[in-house]
Structure 1
Amino acid sequence: MLKRKPVSYMAIGGSDWGTTVQNDFYTQALVQKWKVIDNDWFPWSQAAFANPEKVERAEQIGRNLYKACEVGFENAEW
């Protein structure tokens, strides 16, 4: 759990808690000294699944995290 590693976060939900959940993600990463590559929030779950741009963004988050793991923690960029 305490191993230094790159991480990405995605949240799906309503508009009233989007900023809060992103802060919570950073707080979790800060305690463990993880490097956050992406921290994204998609408002309203149905819109995320029905929107090709949102699906592409989710795929890009996965590609970014893979690349960060490939280059190693010290070289990972966010």
Structure 2
Amino acid sequence: MCIDMKFHFLEAICSFFVVGLGQIIKGEGKKGVVLLLIFYFALPAAVYLSLQLNAYFFLTTLGLAIIFGIILWTYSIGDALLKK
């Protein structure tokens, strides 16, 4: 059984600089827009709203947002690079 995997380096480089752009170029526009909105809107909005509530809650939310952002960024690059 042979799995034919294609590597898309241009899309991966685009996702390295802008999260979700590789998916948009690859033809998965809906997934790319969702990644863009989560990374550039939802995560910063959650951090900003937590800043209004409590300092400890802010630090916790900031830490989780950074970790989740790195995971989302890595997923975006990996998904753009690999395509069956």
TM-score of Structure 1 vs Structure 2, range by shorter chain? 0.3 to 0.5
Higher helix share: 2
Instruction: Give the TM-score, by structure 1 length.
Output: 0.37
* Structure label with greater radius of gyration: 2
